[in-house]
Structure 1
Amino acid sequence: MKARMNNPALVLPDAQKAIHALNKVINSTETPESTLELVHLRTSQINGCAACVFGGVHKARKNGETDDRLHSVAVWRESPLFNESERAALALAEAVTRIADRPESVTDEVWEHAAKHFDEAQLSAILLMIGMTNLFNRLNVSTRLPAGQTW
């Protein structure tokens, strides 16, 4: 499959600068990078973004993530491979990404579970990662960016 056009974030250099700045802010918190990568991967799986799934898996592996855990992200609820804070972040990623699927998709239960494991800065980083991933997913799916590129 061939992309319909270049990624809009690359076409508009100021957009790329803003995205890099946002990514820098997200990574400046004490949120575990592995948790942010899991959130990115699960969000991308839900949205069917092949480019982000491919790139996210590549980056996570590069940073030491195991294949067993990466293969289990889609079934994290049934997998014993994730700790409670990762489960809270993955539940939040699913709820925020599926926000249009039902009223109050981010329930008090989901929010409180996440808030039990992460402080306000970490929750902010996770929410910004979810939002930024949803942005990239929509850009990549719309332009049909094929899998195979890494960042």
Structure 2
Amino acid sequence: MAIEARIQNPAYLLPDAVKAINLLYKAAHSAGVPGGTLELVHLRASQINGCSACVDSGARDARKHGETEERLFAVAAWRETPYFTEAERAALDLAESATRLADRSDPVPDAVWAEAARHFGEQELAALVLWIATTNFFNRINAATRQQAPQNWG
């Protein structure tokens, strides 16, 4: 049984929303965090949220930033693989904590934040938090309206 979108993506139905989203994207990607790290964070949050459209686009965009299949296949199990740098691990841990807000009373524990702050400056941390929140925003829109990954990429 094929799942179909309930409506076109709301961001495209409201032109001012696209402008705001583009500004968020630009801000998050202009603070010095490597593009590949942002793509890994996007992919991991999207996996947690079960957003097929964002998992698909996240993996494709990560490949454009030079990510290997080996690393992409391991993102869901990043803790158990040797493929990620300490900085990437800190960003992925921050992404998981900030995505799973209801899983614990202190959603982003001090240890998670401190490890991220060890690798990223204040503006980079701001960009990571903004990008994680933006990813979760995309995930929620896509889940609510049942947006799907493209079927024919060719």
TM-score, scaled to structure 1: 0.97
2:18 is the alignment partner of 1:29: no
- Correspondent of 1:85 among 54, 62, 87: 87
Report Cα offsets for 1:60-101 as digits up to 9, x if no partner.
Answer: 112211000000000000010000000000000000000112
Gaps of 5+ in 1: none
| Separation in structure 2 between the aligned mates of residue 2 and residue 70 of structure 1, nearest angstrom | 27
Which residue of 2 is the match for residue 2 of structure 1?
A: 4
| Separation in structure 1 between the aligned mates of residue 149 and residue 88 of structure 2, nearest angstrom | 26
| Separation in structure 1 between the aligned mates of residue 128 and residue 108 of structure 2, nearest angstrom | 14
| Separation in structure 2 between the aligned mates of residue 42 and residue 63 of structure 1, nearest angstrom | 16
* Cα drift, residue 138 of structure 1: 0.3
| Separation in structure 2 between the aligned mates of residue 2 and residue 99 of structure 1, nearest angstrom | 29
SS at structure 2 position matched to 1:82: coil
Aligned residue-pair number:
150
| Separation in structure 2 between the aligned mates of residue 29 and residue 14 of structure 1, nearest angstrom | 24
Q: CA RMSD in A?
A: 1.1
- Correspondent of 1:137 among 134, 139, 146: 139
User: Is 32-41 or 56-65 further displaced after alignment?
Assistant: 56-65
SS at structure 2 position matched to 1:57: helix
TM-score, scaled to structure 2: 0.95
Which residue of 2 is the match for residue 99 of structure 1?
A: 101
Gaps of 5+ in 2: none
* Cα drift, residue 109 of structure 1: 0.4
* Cα drift, residue 2 of structure 1: 1.2
Kindly provide the amino acid, as one letter, of the partner of residue 37 in structure 2.
T
SS at structure 2 position matched to 1:131: helix
Q: After the TM superposition, which parts of structure 1 deviate over 6 Å for at least 4 consecutive aligned residues?
A: none
2:48 is the alignment partner of 1:46: yes
SS at structure 1 position matched to 2:82: coil
| Separation in structure 1 between the aligned mates of residue 68 and residue 116 of structure 2, nearest angstrom | 23
| Separation in structure 1 between the aligned mates of residue 150 and residue 77 of structure 2, nearest angstrom | 23
Partners of 1:99 and 1:105 within 8 A in 2: yes
| Separation in structure 1 between the aligned mates of residue 27 and residue 116 of structure 2, nearest angstrom | 20
